[in-house]
Chains A and B, each alone.
Chain A
Amino acid sequence: MVNCLNKNYYVCTGCALLCDDIEVEVSGDHITKIKTVCRKGFSRIGGCIEPMPCTSDGKSVDITTAIKDAASILMNADNPLIFGLGNSTSGAQKQAIELAKRIGAVIDDSSSFCQGPIIEAILHEKIHTCTLDDVRNRADVIVYWGADPSNSHPRHLSMHSYFPRGEERQHGWEDDRTAIAIDVRRSHTAKICGNRFYQIPLHTDAFLIEALIDALSGKVPKVPFEYDIKKILELANVLKKAQFGVIFAGLGVVYSIGDMGTMTRLMDKLNEVSNFHLIPMMGHYNMRGFNQNLFEATGYFNRVKFEKRENGFDVKHGVDYSIMEVLNTKKTDAALIIGSDPMSCLPRSTAEYLSEIPLVSIGPCENFTSRVAKVTIPSALSGVECGGSAVRMDGVKVTFEPMIKTARLSDEEILKRIMEAI
């Protein structure tokens, strides 16, 4: 919570922008008015209509029983899985990592099937990055690549990347900034970019990257699809002339190029001829926090298994420990899901295995996964009912206070109590 001009500002945890200028009016334990947020944040802060029940084996139980039953499921498992945590505070994530060590679990989050490759490149310092504050104050060329923040991170353009008049961009978007969209369809963000929209066929991003590298190297660019080469040269020219350029990489480009090798080469080339940065469009509010916390603890940012040994554990890492593979190969025999809904966000045929194993689901709201769980534990909605800290999509740490009080425990407290019961 920030106090400014005698007003209290809160943080929205609706997405990884973690907007920190939210005003609320509260009466008792209820929020009566929410100001400044976008539609998505408004809906999140307003809360869900199906709160998570506290149950074990389909029956309502008290929290102590639910925690005891959850602990017993995890203790009795040979290959437990811990998944989720992108919607949990850093404190809860660290607690979950400790729990994973204790029970010898696989631990993974949704970066495993989305922004993982970019985060890896950034954490290994292979890609030049910057903060959203740098973008707001300095960026003159902004590229939304396979990203549509108007829908995924609704205040991205107005808070940081395009519309604000930053320190070195006093003339704002009208004169001081050039926004570019590269996508397979004219998204809402692409519409804002007007004639700086570069539409490419599906899964051809890697070819465009190669063509841009050629153009930036003074060679004639080529692409294996019908495209006006003049447009590629014109785009390369705008990128080259940038004083402070930034690429916001969305899932469109991440899924299309697979590994970050080609993007890293483009970034290297851009930084030879210009000044460019890349920020991943992380979805969940603290996905980057999970990646950083796990990286600090193990040297890996996701897909980790703690294999128990007589004196401690070995850390294993790789695709075999990705949620997709542990579920596809049916290697896990119990799972703890925190603040996530894999039954909804994974391929159905993969996720269905979760309904065959003992499952514990922790979260503020009921979801498709909790409906097949053996134990469900309600938790406080972070940013609204409990405070903590998180890492914004650009790596900046943000701390926040709760807006209202609740009797529900935070994820961190629940995980601590599960640990104590083991």
Chain B
Amino acid sequence: MELGKFLTAPEYGFVIVTYRDIFQSAALEKSRFGEEYRKLSAVIKMDSGDIKKLGVVEGDTVVVKNACGKVVVRVEESGYDVPHQGVAYMPNSPWSNSLVSADTGGTGVPKYKMIKVMVSNARGEAITGMM
């Protein structure tokens, strides 16, 4: 049995910015409960340096959590030309919204594009299901 399994995976702080994706929007129109929508929504896009730091490779799952909630999602490399360590991107979806704070600071507008989270290697844990 691997000893590593019992050690907690190190956590790193990130800011998540949400975005829209045409393929995910098209999947949403067809079925919010389908595999395609889940596959295209439960995703976090990261800088290649951050992916290495977390000890994962593209396609692995990571735990993304904060005081509002926790989700397990699949890692993708962002492919952006400018490095963006510490900033990650998620398509707007129930997965990202599980992490958005209810506190709007009196504005009525949640911080959808400024979600502070901790991310760690999920070590094979499956993607979080929604309902």
Among residues 51 to 105 in chain B, which have CB atoms less than 8 Å away from a CB atom of chain A? 68-69, 78, 80-82, 84, 87, 89, 92-94, 97-98, 100-102, 104
Measured CA separation A363–B113 after assembly (Å): 28
Measured CA separation A345–B29 after assembly (Å): 14
From residue B95, how far is it (CB to closest CB) to chain A in Å? Answer: 9
Measured CA separation A393–B33 after assembly (Å): 29
Q: A112 — which chain B residues lie within 8 A by C-beta? A: 108-109
Q: A203 — which chain B residues lie within 8 A by C-beta? A: 114
On whether A185 and B89 interact (CB within 8 A), knowing A324-B109, A344-B94, the answer reads yes
A346: which of B27, B97, B111 is its contact (CB, 8 Å)? B97
- Is B48's CB within 8 Å of the partner chain A? no
Q: B113 — which chain A residues lie within 8 A by C-beta? A: 202, 251-252, 255-256
Interface residue ranges, B against A (CB under 8 Å): 15, 17, 19-23, 25-27, 29-34, 68-69, 78, 80-82, 84, 87, 89, 92-94, 97-98, 100-102, 104, 106-114, 130-131
- Is A214's CB within 8 Å of the partner chain B? no
Q: A258 — which chain B residues lie within 8 A by C-beta? A: 107, 109
Among residues 40 to 80 in chain A, which have CB atoms less than 8 Å away from a CB atom of chain B? 40, 42-44, 46, 48-50
CB of A40 within 8 A of CB of B25, answer yes
The segment from A118-126, A129-137, A147-155, A288-296 found at the interface with B is A147-155
Measured CA separation A371–B131 after assembly (Å): 9
CB of A187 within 8 A of CB of B19, answer yes
On whether A255 and B109 interact (CB within 8 A), knowing A185-B78, A346-B97, A348-B98, the answer reads yes
A to B CB contacts below 8 Å, 26 in the list: A39-B23, A40-B22, A40-B29, A48-B29, A49-B31, A50-B31, A148-B19, A151-B20, A151-B21, A151-B22, A151-B25, A185-B80, A185-B84, A185-B89, A187-B19, A199-B82, A251-B112, A255-B112, A255-B113, A319-B106, A324-B108, A324-B110, A341-B32, A344-B32, A350-B110, A366-B32
- Residue-wise interface mask of A (185-200) relative to B, using a CB-CB cutoff of 8 A (1 in contact, 0 not): 1110000000000010
From residue A48, how far is it (CB to closest CB) to chain B in Å? Answer: 6
Q: A347 — which chain B residues lie within 8 A by C-beta? A: 68, 97, 100-102, 110
Measured CA separation A154–B26 after assembly (Å): 11
| B115 nearest CB neighbor, chain A only | A347
- Is A184's CB within 8 Å of the partner chain B? yes
Q: B111 — which chain A residues lie within 8 A by C-beta? A: 255
From residue A389, how far is it (CB to closest CB) to chain B in Å? Answer: 22
- Number of contacting residues on A, CB 8 A? 54
CB of B80 within 8 A of CB of A344, answer no
Measured CA separation A50–B131 after assembly (Å): 15
From residue B81, how far is it (CB to closest CB) to chain A in Å? Answer: 6
CB of A324 within 8 A of CB of B104, answer yes
| B89 nearest CB neighbor, chain A only | A185
From residue B63, how far is it (CB to closest CB) to chain A in Å? Answer: 16
- Is A367's CB within 8 Å of the partner chain B? yes
- Is A38's CB within 8 Å of the partner chain B? yes
| A325 nearest CB neighbor, chain B only | B108
Q: A39 — which chain B residues lie within 8 A by C-beta? A: 22-23, 26
| B110 nearest CB neighbor, chain A only | A347
Q: B130 — which chain A residues lie within 8 A by C-beta? A: 368
| A324 nearest CB neighbor, chain B only | B108
Q: A322 — which chain B residues lie within 8 A by C-beta? A: 108
- Is A403's CB within 8 Å of the partner chain B? no
| B19 nearest CB neighbor, chain A only | A148
Q: B17 — which chain A residues lie within 8 A by C-beta? A: 184-185, 202
Measured CA separation A365–B29 after assembly (Å): 9
On whether A303 and B102 interact (CB within 8 A), knowing A50-B33, A186-B81, A348-B69, the answer reads no
Q: B26 — which chain A residues lie within 8 A by C-beta? A: 39-40, 42-43
| A348 nearest CB neighbor, chain B only | B98
| A367 nearest CB neighbor, chain B only | B32
Among residues 242 to 279 in chain A, which have CB atoms less than 8 Å away from a CB atom of chain B? 251-252, 255-256, 258
CB of B30 within 8 A of CB of A46, answer yes
From residue B65, how far is it (CB to closest CB) to chain A in Å? Answer: 12
From residue A393, how far is it (CB to closest CB) to chain B in Å? Answer: 15
CB of B107 within 8 A of CB of A349, answer no
Q: B32 — which chain A residues lie within 8 A by C-beta? A: 50, 341, 344, 365-368
Interface hub of A40, A114, A252 (most chain B Cβ within 10 A): A40
- Is A378's CB within 8 Å of the partner chain B? no
A48: which of B21, B31, B100 is its contact (CB, 8 Å)? B31
Among residues 124 to 168 in chain A, which have CB atoms less than 8 Å away from a CB atom of chain B? 148, 150-152, 154
- Is A14's CB within 8 Å of the partner chain B? yes
Q: B97 — which chain A residues lie within 8 A by C-beta? A: 344-348, 351
Q: A14 — which chain B residues lie within 8 A by C-beta? A: 29
Q: B106 — which chain A residues lie within 8 A by C-beta? A: 319
Measured CA separation A303–B17 after assembly (Å): 26
- Is A343's CB within 8 Å of the partner chain B? yes
Among residues 370 to 399 in chain A, which have CB atoms less than 8 Å away from a CB atom of chain B? 371
On whether A348 and B31 interact (CB within 8 A), knowing A39-B26, A154-B22, A303-B108, the answer reads no
